[in-house]
Structure 1
């Protein structure tokens, strides 16, 4: 069981703690956010909320069956019916199919109420878990890419209208 909550101002403290706790874990497979992200987290959080309010992004926190913050999942760069999907599941929740369930849940939100018709996602080639999550959710590989200089693959998923 997974629950998504749209990002809110009162999530700031829990989200910062989650990001700090999982920083080294995430850096193994995705580009590190850098020290500036943590140094100005309150400002960054406010900026994310402003982007969400403007409708250019949709940010969500992922909670596990026990109600613990387990990750985050986002739809960014929303334009002309499409967006890019990104997600992070914390180390303590990894391997429990939460990412697969969270992506399935965001697919439903992307189609309705967000009105999107297509999502893209990218992952590095050394992140087979993420590739599995995407293929389990009917994303199809559409080409090679570089992610901060690391070889990766781009995926696409059409959504029902």
Structure 2
């Protein structure tokens, strides 16, 4: 499947909101909830405005994973970009109907290539200890496990930790 990663823009808002609504339950199985407020359109738009401002300031870059028809299949971002534009934290999520097709792995490759071309030297990532699929995707893309955090969080009745990864570009 051909995909692209496109920078998040305001015209994507309605489709992105629908994507998040449709996939809420699925995402919350593996990552902490964003809370009920996030799924109110007005609140979503406020948060989106904040993200777009952060992106305009060069602090983060938010991308949508899209197919050739422009359908949003997932999201991938690089956040907390350092002042030298050489380091950032990546995160991604693929919609439930699109898992198991290699989309996250391909999108992560596209993002890593883009960041290397922009002068980045390292990418950092973290995922929950129960999200084995995400850990495998990171490792297949050259990320190395650095550590497992000591802090435990409760998610869906299960105690999990964050697993931290690094990739040198």
> Which TM bucket (shorter chain)?
over 0.9
In the alignment, what sits opposite 1:136? Answer: 140
Q: Distance in 2 between matches of 1:148 and 1:53?
A: 32
Alignment partner of 1:118 out of 118, 122, 128: 122
Calculate the TM-score normalised by the size of structure 2: 0.89
Q: Is 1:119–1:158's contact at 8 Å kept on the other side of the alignment?
A: yes
* Gapped regions of structure 2 (runs ≥ 5): 155-159
In the alignment, what sits opposite 1:91? Answer: 96
In the alignment, what sits opposite 2:29? Answer: 28
Task: Tell me by how many angstroms 1:66 deviates.
Answer: 4.7
How many residue pairs are counted as aligned between the two chains?
158
CA deviations over 1:34-59 (Å, ceiling 9, x no partner): 11222201111111100000000000
Q: Distance in 2 between matches of 1:94 and 1:62?
A: 12
Task: Say whether 1:151 aligns with 2:161.
Answer: yes
Write out the 4+ residue segments of structure 1 that deviate beyond 4 Å after TM superposition: 146-149
* Gapped regions of structure 1 (runs ≥ 5): none
Calculate the TM-score normalised by the size of structure 1: 0.93
CA deviations over 1:81-125 (Å, ceiling 9, x no partner): 110000000000000000000000000111123x21111101111
Task: Say whether 1:46 aligns with 2:56.
Answer: no
In the alignment, what sits opposite 1:101? Answer: 106
**Helix, strand or coil: the match of 1:71?**
strand
